[in-house]
Amino acid sequence: MSPSLYLGATGFGLIAVCYGFARFAFGLFLPQIDTDLALTPTLSGFISGGSFLGYCVAIILSAYLTERIGARAVAIGAALVATVGMAGIAISDPFCVERHRDDFLALIENDLGYVIGNEAEIRALWETDDTEAALAKTAEICPLVVCTRSGDGVTLVRGEERVDVPVEKVVPVDATGAGDQFAAGFLYGLATSRDLETCGRMGNICAGEVIRHIGPRPQTDIMALFKAEGLV
C-alpha cells in the first residue's frame, strides 16, 4: 500500500471510530439502555446531552493538546479512548442472569427460599419470551416467586397460591431504585408475617414513592403510607 493510501485509510478509520462510532452510535444503544435500566425520557436526554457535551469539550481540548504534545499523540489517544469506551458498551450485558444462568438456577433451586425478579429476568432464566411459562418453571424449583411487571403490577406465586397485585400507574420521574424499594417493602411484609397480597402492596407502595422524584431514597414516610392504606 502506498503511503498516501495508508495515510488515507488510517485517517478514515480514525474518524469513523472517534467521530462516527463513539459520537453517534451511542444513540443506537440508548433504546436498549432505556429498557434495561428503566430510564425516563428526561434522564435519557441528560445522558445523551452529556455525551454531546463531552464531545464538544474534547474538540476544544484537542486543539490545546495538539500544540502541547503533538497531533500524533492526540490522534492515538482519541482512538484508544473511543475504542475502549465502545468496547465497554459492546461487552456489557443487559442482564447479569444471561451470563450466569446455570449458577442462578442452581442457587434458586438449592439455596433460596424466595426469588424476586422482573419479567425480563424471570424470562431470561429459561430463555423464553413467555412470562407465564417462565413463572411456572421458576415456581417448580422455588417456594416463593415474586415477579414485578412495571405498570402491570406484581405477581406472587407460593405453591398453589397465586396473587396478582395491581399498581397505580404513574409517569415515573426517575426509576432508579424502584426495584430495591419494592424488595424492601415486600420483605418488610414477609418478615412481619403479612399475607402475599399485603406484601405485594407494601412493595408497590415503596416503589411507587421512589419513582415520583429524582433519587433512589424515599422522601416520604413509608410507614405513614402503609398506615394510610390500612396495611399496618
Distance from C-alpha of 146 to C-alpha of 199, rounded to nearest angstrom = 10
Mind listing the pLDDT tens digit of every residue in the chain (232 residues)? 566 666 566 666 655 555 555 555 555 556 656 655 566 677 767 766 776 677 677 778 877 888 888 877 877 777 666 665 555 554 444 456 777 788 888 888 888 888 998 888 888 889 899 999 999 999 999 999 999 988 889 999 999 999 999 988 888 888 878 888 999 999 999 999 999 999 999 999 999 998 888 888 889 999 999 999 999 8
Domain containing 170 — which CATH number? 3.40.1190.20
Output the pLDDT for position 91. Answer: 42
**Quick count: other Cβ atoms within 10 Å of Cβ 58?**
17
Same domain, 167 and 73: no
**Structure-block grid coordinates of residue 222:** 413509608
As for how many domains the chain has, the answer is: 2
Same domain, 125 and 213: yes
Distance from C-alpha of 135 to C-alpha of 125, rounded to nearest angstrom = 10
Output the pLDDT for position 112. Answer: 85
Among candidate residues 63, 91, 119, the one where a domain is terminated: 91
Domain that holds residue 82: 3-91
Same domain, 52 and 124: no
Same domain, 139 and 78: no
Same domain, 82 and 110: no
Same domain, 115 and 224: yes
The answer to whether 125 and 102 have CB atoms below 8 angstroms apart is no
The answer to whether 169 and 133 have CB atoms below 8 angstroms apart is no
Among candidate residues 91, 108, 124, the one where a domain is terminated: 91
Q: Which of 121, 119, 129 is nearest to 105 (CA)?
A: 121
Q: Which of 193, 185, 230, 192 is nearest to 209 (CA)?
A: 185
Same domain, 48 and 162: no
Output the pLDDT for position 147. Answer: 93
Q: Which of 123, 124, 119 is nearest to 101 (CA)?
A: 124
Output the pLDDT for position 86. Answer: 55
Same domain, 53 and 110: no
Same domain, 152 and 224: yes
Alpha carbon 64 to its chain's center: 37
pTM tops 0.75, yes or no: no
Same domain, 148 and 107: yes
Same domain, 101 and 211: yes
Same domain, 63 and 174: no
Output the pLDDT for position 177. Answer: 82
Alpha carbon 132 to its chain's center: 22
